[in-house]
Structure 1
Amino acid sequence: MEDNFHTIVLGTGLVESIIAGALARSGKSVLHLDQQDRYGGSWPTLNIRQLLDWVDEHGSGMGKEVDNHVKTIVENGSAHVGSSIPIYFTDNESQGYKHVELRIYGSSIPERDHKEVDVDTTISIDVASIPLTDGTSTRQSVIRETVQNKLDNTLKHYAIGGLTSDILNRTIDRIIHSLPPTSTVTIDILPHVQQLATYANLLSKSRQFNIDLAPKLVSCTGSMVDNLMDSGIGRYLEFKGVERTYMYTQAGEQGPHFDRVPVSKEDVFQDKELRYVDKRRLMKFLTFAMEHEEQLDVLDGYQDKPYRELIEEKFSISTRLADAIVFALAATNGDAHNVTAMEGLSRTKRFMTSIGKFGPFAYLVPLYGGGSEIAQAYCRVCAVYGGIYMLDHPVSQLCMDENKEKVTGVIGRDGVEYKCEWLVAGTDYLPSSFLDGSDQGAWQWVNMAVAITSAPFHNEVNEVNLTVFPPQSHPYGSYILTVGHGTQVCPEGYYIVFYSTLCGDDEAKSDDALQSALSATLNVDEDPISSQPKPLLLLKYKRRIRQIPPSSLPFNLISCRGPDDTLDYDGALKEAKDAFDIILANEPDRLFLPRPEEMDEE
């Protein structure tokens, strides 16, 4: 295998994969490495087993084995002449997440209803009668053995299997920790058995789940969909439209509820909640948004004012509809006060013109996963045009020239030095000295949650919908994406619900905002009288948006940030295009992912 390349790309995240595909398409030699054994990098899509492993690694500091291997390589030295900097991928990657919490909810046990003789799930232990120590046994080991035997027998009775030893041991630990500090204890382990039933059910369907930890949408008129179509890469992908958009509101006689967001003339006039005068005002405003470039005089000094002021003051739109326009149509996932009228109108027009391009919706979701699925499509282009791929291949060192001004290559797991003119790397692959030199205080956190349910929380059943939760006490709203079996990310009869909101300067308020969105949609607190669906699994985590300024990096090293806080993938495409232009600045005639000749022949 050759060891000299025009560009080495570290990580198969979306931005890195687009750059790799574009460079290979332009005739450049590309080596694409990823420390992990799957595509996606910092845009991961995981099945159930992978998700549980991910939680272990990010929730308890596990997963350092590879970094220890890297450390051994570094300490043993290498054949590189010049300077080298060690890379500790797992440490870097784990710093991109915090507050990872997984909760598994108990579910019914179907086999329990068919047993002629039910099993006793209570444990009674006379703690005082057990000696503190008896040869090789201790009171603690006797209690543990008693709990384990009862649990094993109960699981066998209800035919609950397929559980890992880690899951079983953790359940036993939880049962023991819940025992009261009394001389005689009695506890019913049925809730724990029901929780294990959920585990077993999800694990048995593990590969039917594709859980996206950085969910986004594809705008029907966005730059990403244009690039996928023009380059032919879209042929490798399938999509499904976002069928409905909802808005949470606390106003009206109904109390807190969800309204469908009207996105067409038919929707507006079929909405029974809207007064006739509101319908007229809304249609007038939407018509203006579509034609605002030709009617700038109507703005009358509102151009640079907050978008909401234009909507409410100039067009007398109600608060409820203003929320729908600002947060659903214009998708201002941030402080709405900073979005000007001109920017808001452009976003609204983009949303409206998106409807009808592929169907009665403005957004698409990729089938089989999100960003990682799109990343694989660009990787496929790279491979077709000669790119070399090595997954599950840790990189131990970044090689520099003697003056540490230029990257000259990397040293892989095999100890081989691979040379390059340019290096493109996800943030997780950067040496800590580069990360420490950036303004980490400017990095933002996004508050995320993922729930798996067996029923939708909206009364209408549809495969894909977007729900907007406007800001309450927190300056940022929450976006909730629900996907079902039709997107090929979960088995039939299941739904995955994704939640996201920016943390901003107040993480506590962000936590409250996320919890409000969860409580308004799912029975997360297991209220026995709630009509909301109870989740089977709920994962909470915070994801960091990391961006390294070029000034802190060698000139021939391009750092790719992970997913940002926007609703769609267009930012990732722009970042990749900017990197392509920098790398091939001396070849201005090179086109970014041009249309394949065979498509013209077709």
Structure 2
Amino acid sequence: MADKLPTEFDVIIVGTGLPESILAAACSRSGQRVLHVDSRSYYGGNWASFSFTGLLSWLKDCQQSHDSEEDMTASWQDLIHDTEEAVALGRKDGTIQHTEVFCYVSQDVGDSTQKTVALQRSPFSEASATLADSLDSAGLPKERHSAYFSSHEAPSEHPERSDREPSSSPTASENSLEKEKDREDETYTQAVSDGDKDEDTLHVEDNTEQPKRSRITYPQMIKESRRFNIDLVSKLLYSQGSLIDLLIKSNVSRYAEFKNVTRILAFREGKVEQVPCSRADVFNSKGLTMVEKRMLMKFLTFCLDYEQLSDEYQDFKECSFSEYLKTKQLTPSLQHFILHSIAMTSESSCTTLDGLKATKTFLQCLGRFGNTPFIFPLYGQGEIPQCFCRMCAVFGGIYCLRHKVQCLVVDKDSGRCKGIIDHFGQRISASYFIVEDSYLSKEACSNVQYQQISRAVLITDRSILETDSDQQVSILTVPPLEPGTVSVRVMELCPSTMTCMKDSYLVHLTCVSSKTAREDLEPVVKQLFIPFTEAEDQEELRKPRLLWALYFNMRDSSGVSRSSYRGLPPNVYICSGPDCGLGNEHAVKQAEALFQEIFPSEEFCPPPPNPEDIIFEGFVSITTLTVLAYERYIRVVHSRVINFSWAWRAITYIWLYSLAWAGAPLLGWNRYILDVHGLGCTVDWKSKDANDSSFVLFLFLGCLVVPMGIIGHCYGHILYSVRMLRCVEDLQTIQVIKILRYEKKVAKMSFLMAFIFLTCWMPYIVTRFLVVNGYGHLVTPTVSIVAYLFAKSSTVYNPVIYIFMIRKFRRSLLQLLCFRLLRCQRPAKNLPAAESEMQIRPIVMSQKDGDRPKKKVTFNSSSIIFIITSDDSLSVDDSDRTNASKADVIQVRPL
């Protein structure tokens, strides 16, 4: 490792599974210093996704893993004090067992005469060099088919290939593939030439021959390895589930893409058929009679409100859900659909309440993203932990893969963990520690009883239920085939999910283990698939062909409580691995519960700040107040009237000026980053780069110094003009005095708005100056939050100021609030007119070009019109003197 890690953190997390990744994101988002390490070379742990060759390497590591006999105690002695003790962590991952791999397609490197044209034209460059190593690392059997498929096995056309070992020389493999590629290109060119010579004959042959499925070989799968993204766990996301809500709330969803699950399938009487889920699917289904459709819709409607209709199932609470369905007079096919494809429960272990709850959850998730309740992340389930890790890194978390933790350092007196010692011999301290359960030693897990999950990963050549579209994502629950067995969940993924290569399907099988994975899942595989053979027969045309298969057992620690582990310090928290459920609810709930236990006063994964929340609003506010000050200045000091054209130009300038400053960092002049504690988004104040520093300097001048200088200049002149007019107030008429008071009140209100704005933004400005000048350590999280709070509240005070300083607005507001009450007391037309003082109402008069601005002022109880001008030579228009109301016109000239 080039650089040593910091020696102090708030939280250290060991393992990058889904619960650990969510916790890392939540802790980092709340301002904690997070170190996230994993001894593996990939993210996700048992939640990870692999390419095809990556999966083969993972299998090899699982088969060759063993406990290290090296005694590491000597390396700990120098770092552990007399009052401390070391608690060793496990050095073997025992969560994966009974791995078995079977390949049913040709493993011969030279046997590639039927590759697709696309593969011929664009092969992967490094696939050939690593082909032999990949073949060896798979641990494949020498036989082309496994023994349990012997009844379907067909004689091979090339028997010598079945026993041939793959070439161990990369150069030989590459030469063989290149020669084969050239030979295939020649064959392809010749076929095109023949077609050009005899086009009519070719057309007839295409119409008469049955279409043949493209043949996929093992070397082809190796070359297309990156097209595969194979999950170790088989899960889907409920569209109304807790994980979807968390992804949307925390804005982590922007890091991933999703695809709808398009079909819910059922396996009944040896056949696979599609299950109608939504109301439209039920009534459009051709497999149900009209009576069955009505019965199904009636029961599904009841399940949505079953909690309010407890009398319907009160007597069946202790019974199984399957027995309860029989009492509802449903047909056997409807009972099967509801039990295995909608509720997705077992016949024996599921109670009535659990079945109704599962059915309601299923129905509530319909319609949000599609006709089914589920969505699937593109590139596999392993993308989700990486998305949360990315969020943690954005907020300052530090990540280290291939970083082993040797032991925990525990204080003997308090029993709390003080730090860790890594494989580099560095001691790192923290307040809290979160550890994936696979890292615990055998001594800590000696009293724990684990369950097991049986998993199978299959690669097939077509879908288990073919339709017009070949891009279907399907979920199927196969009921127990024999008494005493469990139901098996089957998930089929198409190439559009970015999990498999073209012309292939990726199939996941999952169930609770009773034996080894192969023994549990083998009967279902036999029912749905047949092994790949050279020659096609009628059965192959009915069932998908199995190209490659992997079986393994995975440990399920989701039901283990923390008290079951021995010798854990109180500040060490344990996260479990994947469970057998279809959704991710357990992982999300576990992460949230642990976070609230560690930081009870913090919000769990709040949404990240928007870069425009503080920056853009501040630009708009300061520019608006500057323009407002200038408008008051030209009206009071220079007696100029503002028309609508001037106002629209001013508003346009405000927004363009603010957008220019807010958009500059997006175009490369400085950048947006998180502030010191990751609590808000701001520009990069600390950067010493000339480009970034120049932006900070010009931002200070253009958005603080210049606007505040203009505001000070304008209100200084307004104050001077008002003081000069007050000196001769006794010489003015009462009407002129009222006009002056009106302008003075408006100017005072605008000045108060600017003053409060500057006061609210001053804490934020001060904290930014501290950061720019290298005193960011003085800005604590509390100070940062208070600064943001004051800055965001600056716009709230403007309407409050307006309400308290404008009497007419207050009166209108009270009238609006009391309108209903007044109408109840008496009709509005009988209400007496409210007595009020004479009010001044300035109205802008029309004028010709070149004339000075004039203002017409009228009063409620007077017909006198004042024309205020600023030119001694200007005379009053006769049109103003002679109007319909014969109002008296008085010209008021400035002093």
- TM-score band by shorter chain is 0.7 to 0.9
Q: Which of 517, 521, 524 in structure 2 is aligned with 1:517?
A: 524
Measured at CA, do residues 103 and 294 of structure 1 come closer, stay the same or move farther in structure 2, by a change above 3 Å? same
189 and 225 in structure 1: CA distance in 2 versus 1, 3 angstrom threshold: same
1:328 maps to what in 2? 341
Q: Secondary structure in 1 aligned to 2:399?
A: strand
| Structure 1 position 84 matched with structure 2 position 93 | no
2:176 counterpart of 1:205: no
Q: Find the counterpart in structure 2 of residue 302 from structure 1.
A: 316
Alpha-carbon distance in structure 1 between the residues aligned to 2:230 and 2:138? 23
2:371 counterpart residue number: 360
Q: How does 1:402-421 map to 2 (within 5 A)?
A: 402=412, 405-421=415-431
Moved more, 484-493 or 381-390: 484-493
**Which one of the candidate residues 24, 29, 33 is aligned to 1:29?**
33
The structure carrying a bigger helix percent of its residues is: 2
Q: Which runs of 4+ in 1 moved over 3 A?
A: 70-78, 107-115, 159-162, 165-175, 192-199, 335-338, 510-513, 524-529, 599-602
2:132 partner amino acid: T
Q: 1:237 aligns with which of 234, 249, 256?
A: 256
Q: Look up the match of 1:155.
A: none
Is 1:191 aligned to 2:162, yes or no? yes
Residue of structure 2 in register with 1:3 after alignment:
7
Where does residue 152 of structure 1 map in the other structure? none
Aligned pair 1:389/2:357, yes or no?
no
Q: Counterpart of 1:4 in 2: which secondary structure?
A: coil
Q: How many residues align?
A: 523
The answer to whether 1:290 aligns with 2:286 is no
- Tell me, in whole angstroms, the C-alpha distance in 2 between the residues paired with 1:41 and 1:57: 13
CA distance in 1, matches of 2:110, 2:142: 24
Asked if structure 1 preserves the Cα contact closer than 8 Å seen for 2:251 and 2:608, the reply is: yes
Aligned equivalents of 1:168, 1:231: Cα separation in 2: 44
When residues 194 and 480 of structure 1 are mapped into structure 2, their CA distance, relative to the original with a 3 A threshold, is farther
Amino acid at match of 1:519: K
**Which region of structure 1 is more displaced relative to structure 2, 97-106 or 240-249?**
97-106
Distance of 1:169 and 1:435 partners within structure 2: 31
Classify the secondary structure of the residue corresponding to 1:435: coil
Partner of 1:462: 471
1:30-69 maps to which residues of 2 (within 5 A)?
30-58=34-62, 60=63, 62-64=64-66, 68=68
Q: Separation in 2 of the partners of 1:227 and 1:481?
A: 24
Is 1:556 matched up with 2:568?
A: no
C-alpha contact 2:487 2:511 (8 A) present in aligned 1: yes
Q: Counterparts of 2:307 and 2:13 in 1: how far apart (Å)?
A: 42
Q: Please point out which of 438, 449, 453 is paired with 2:460.
A: 453
Query: How far apart, in 1, do the equivalents of 2:463 and 2:138 lie?
Result: 30
Separation in structure 1 between the aligned mates of residue 458 and residue 113 of structure 2, nearest angstrom: 29
Is residue 2:518 matched to residue 1:507?
A: no
Among candidates 538, 554, 573, match of residue 543 of structure 1: 554
Partner of residue 439, structure 2:
429
Any residues of structure 2 matched to 1:93-108 within 5 Å, and which? 93=93, 95-107=94-106
TM-score calculated relative to the size of structure 1: 0.80
Cα distance in 1 between the residues matched to 2:478 and 2:529 = 14
Distance between the aligned counterparts of 2:39 and 2:139, measured in 1? 32
Deviation of 1:408 after TM superposition, in Å, equals 1.8
Identity percentage of aligned residues: 29
Could you tell me how far apart the structure 1 residues matched to 2:166 and 2:466 are? 27
Q: Which residue of 2 aligns with 1:317?
A: 330
- 345-354 or 19-28: bigger deviation: 345-354
> How far apart in 2 are the matches of 1:514 and 1:243?
24
- Cα separation, 1, equivalents of 2:376 and 2:137: 38
Q: How does 1:567-578 map to 2 (within 5 A)?
A: 567-578=582-593
Displacement of 1:368 after TM fit?
1.0
Preserved contact between residue 243 and residue 463 of structure 1 (Cα < 8 Å): yes
| Pairing 1:169-188 to 2, within 5 Å after superposition | 174=142, 188=159
Residue identity in the other structure for 2:578:
P
Q: Does residue 583 of the first structure (1) align with residue 598 of the second (2)?
A: yes
Does the 8 Å contact 2:60/2:139 carry over to 1? no
Gaps of 5+ in 1: 116-158, 176-186, 251-255
- The answer to whether the 8 Å contact 1:12/1:375 transfers is yes
Q: Structure 1, residues 10-65: CA drift from partner, whole Å, max 9, x if none?
A: 0100010001111111111110001111110121211112211122222x3x144x
1:481 aligns with 2:491: yes
Aligned equivalents of 2:588, 2:375: Cα separation in 1: 16
Q: Deviations over 1:442-481 (max 9, x none)?
A: x111111001123222222333111110123244210111
The separation in 1 between residues aligned to 2:137 and 2:578, in whole angstroms, is 35
CA gap of 1:71–1:423, structure 2 versus 1, over 3 A, is farther
Unmatched runs of 5 consecutive residues or more in structure 2: 115-126, 144-157, 168-215, 617-895
Against the structure 1 CA distance between its residues 76 and 112, is the aligned structure 2 distance closer, same or farther, given a 3 Å change threshold?
A: closer
Q: Which amino acid aligns with 1:578?
A: A
Q: Is the 8 A contact 1:410 1:417 kept in 2?
A: yes
Indicate yes or no: 2:516 matched with 1:496.
Answer: no
Q: Are residues 1:164 and 2:141 paired?
A: no
Matches of 1:366 and 1:469 in 2, distance apart?
23
Contact 1:456 1:495 in 2 (8 A): yes
Distance in 2, Cα, partners of 1:459 & 1:415: 58
CA spacing shift, 1:162–1:198, aligned 2, 3 Å = farther
Cα RMSD (Å) of the superposition?
A: 3.0
1:223 is aligned with what amino acid? S
- 1:119 corresponds in structure 2 to none
**CA deviation string 1:497-534 (max 9, x = no partner):** 0001112xx427x7555112111221148596432222
Bigger radius of gyration, 1 or 2? 2
8 Å CA contact retained: 2:60, 2:137: no
Of 526-535 and 18-27, the range deviating more from structure 2 = 526-535
Cα displacement (A) at 1:294: 3.1
Displacement of 1:200 in angstroms is 1.8
Output the CA distance in 2 between the equivalents of 1:172 and 1:545. Answer: 27
CA distance in structure 2 between the partners assigned to 1:10 and 1:323 by the alignment: 44
User: How many Å separate the matches in 2 of 1:207 and 1:423?
Assistant: 35
Q: Is the 8 A contact 1:8 1:31 kept in 2?
A: yes
Change (3 A) 1:229 1:189: same
Which structure's relative contact order is higher, taking Cα pairs within 8 Å and 6+ residues apart? 1
Tell me, what secondary structure is at the counterpart of 2:386?
Answer: helix
* Contact 2:471–2:496 (CA under 8 A) maintained in structure 1: no
Separation in 2 of the partners of 1:36 and 1:544?
A: 18
Instruction: Label 1:114 to 1:377 Cα distance change in 2 as closer, same or farther (>3 A).
Output: closer
Query: In the alignment, what sits opposite 2:70?
Result: 71
